[in-house]
Structures are given as structure tokens and as C-alpha cells.
Structure 1
Amino acid sequence: MDKNEWMRELRHLYGAGILFFYYAKWPILLGLPAMYYGLDYPHNVVLDILWVWSLVLVLKDLYVWFILKESYCESGRCKTEKKERKNDGGDNTEDESS
């Protein structure tokens, strides 16, 4: 295999990982403790690693949502963008007369 084939395969694995954790992080984060303590499921190191990784991803999402969004809106950018989008010359302008 040459370098381009390896890079293509790494991109496929990266994309699969993004899709997997996008949909599976909350079920893993909430379901694994329920399986361990509620259903007496035997502990598994691989699932523990997936749980820790899911926890890190959820904490990152919460940080981005609450901290960065708040600082973005405090700078005044989110309010001005709404005003600019409102009158962007599209189909639904307010000054249109019938």
C-alpha cells in the first residue's frame, strides 16, 4: 500500500468514528452505568474506555454550547447577524406590498 491508500483508509476510520460517537455518546454515557449497576453486567475495559471517551465528548459539547456561545453573543455578533439575515433581500421581505 502506498501513502495515499493509507491516508484514504485513515480518513474513512476518522469519519466512521465521528459518526459513531455523534449518535452513540449519549446512549453509552447513560446506558453503561445502568447496565453495570442496574443489570449486573460484567465490567469490560473496552466499554469503560468508550464511556470515558463519551464523557469527554459530552463535556466538550457542553463547553462549546454554554461557554463559547455565551461569549459569542456577549460580543454582540449574534444580535447583528439576526438583523442582517432579516433583510437579506430574499423572498420574505417585510416591505413587500401585495
Structure 2
Amino acid sequence: MKKILRELYGSGILFFYFFKWPYFLIFPYLYNNGLDNNYLLNILWFFTAGLIFKDFYHMYKNSGS
């Protein structure tokens, strides 16, 4: 069971590492051009926005030291 959770965690990290910027930029374009309202996709967009905000926060916090 621990091995499965580790693999899911690792694949999630890779997925969001490579997926957050394209999804963050393309989703608003698709939404404004006829994509139906889907709550799961909206939550995923806010999650990727939070991850991007976290990256900028850590970059700002570490550069000021």
C-alpha cells in the first residue's frame, strides 16, 4: 500500500510540475471560447494558480535573505 501511495505522489508531482503553466494559461482561453462550466476543471485551475503563487512566494522569500 505504501508503494502505491508513493507512486501516486510521485506521478502527481511530475504531473503538476509540467502541467501547471500550460493549464493555467490555456484554460481561461478555452473557457471564454465555449467550454462548458465544469466544477472539477475550475477547481483544478484554482489549484494550479495556488501552486504558481506558492512558487513565486518562495522565490521572493528566498531571494530577500
Partner of 1:57: 51
TM normalised by structure 2 equals: 0.91
TM-score by length of 1: 0.63
- Match of 1:91? none
Quote the sequence identity (%).
Answer: 42
Structural RMSD (CA): 0.9
Aligned AA (1:55) = A
Higher helix share: 2
4+ residue stretches of structure 1 with deviation over 6 A? none
Q: Partner letter of residue 54 of structure 1?
A: T
- Say how many residue pairs are matched: 65
Amino acid at match of 1:50: L
Query: 20, 23, 26: which one pairs with 2:18?
Result: 23
Give CA deviations for 1:21-74 in whole Å, capped at 9, x if unaligned.
00000111111111001x211121111111011011000000111122222xxx
> C-alpha distance in 2, partners of 1:10/1:25?
22
The within-5 A match list for 1:58-97 is 58-71=52-65
Task: Give unpaired runs (5+ residues) of structure 1.
Answer: 1-5, 72-98
Tell me if 1:8 matches 2:11: no
Cα distance in 2 between the residues matched to 1:33 and 1:13: 28
Residues 1:35 and 2:25 are matched in the alignment: no
1:5-25 deviations in whole A, cap 9, x for unaligned? x11100000001000000000
